[in-house]
């Protein structure tokens, strides 16, 4: 279905371009001429690149393997272990 519509639309490309050119040259209003000129340029050269701003926010999740009842219990589990001398 989409391919058929695309094919039908492309069959009228020459007429559409000729219409845009006619409007661009002899359009009744300035806005119609500008719109036609933009449409011709977009189709001939592609649309100008658009800048997109995006803010990245990072979230850090710490997973504790054992649920601790107190801060002291957690600290004791995560304290560096003393090295043993053999």
Residue-level pLDDT at 50: 85
Return the closest-CA partner of residue 39 out of 5, 13, 2. 13
DSSP one-letter code for 28: S
Alpha helices (H) in 1-86, listed in sequence order: 2-11, 13-26, 30-45, 71-78
Interval 8-40: pLDDT, tens: 888 888 888 899 999 989 878 999 989 988 888
pLDDT at residue 64 greater than cutoff 70: no
Higher pLDDT, 66 or 7: 7
Domain boundary assignment for the chain: 1-48
Judge if pTM exceeds 0.75.
Answer: no
32 Cβ neighbours under 8 A, 6+ residues apart = 23
């Amino acid at each position: 279905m989409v391919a058929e519509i695309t094919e039908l639309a492309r069959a009228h490309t020459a007429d559409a371009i000729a219409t845009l050119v006619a409007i661009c040259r002899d359009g009744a209003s300035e806005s119609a001429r500008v719109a036609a000129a933009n449409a011709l340029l977009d189709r001939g050269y592609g649309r100008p690149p658009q800048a997109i701003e995006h803010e990245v926010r990072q979230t850090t999740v710490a997973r504790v393997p054992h649920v601790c009842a107190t801060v002291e219990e957690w600290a004791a589990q995560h304290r560096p272990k003393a090295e043993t001398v053999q």
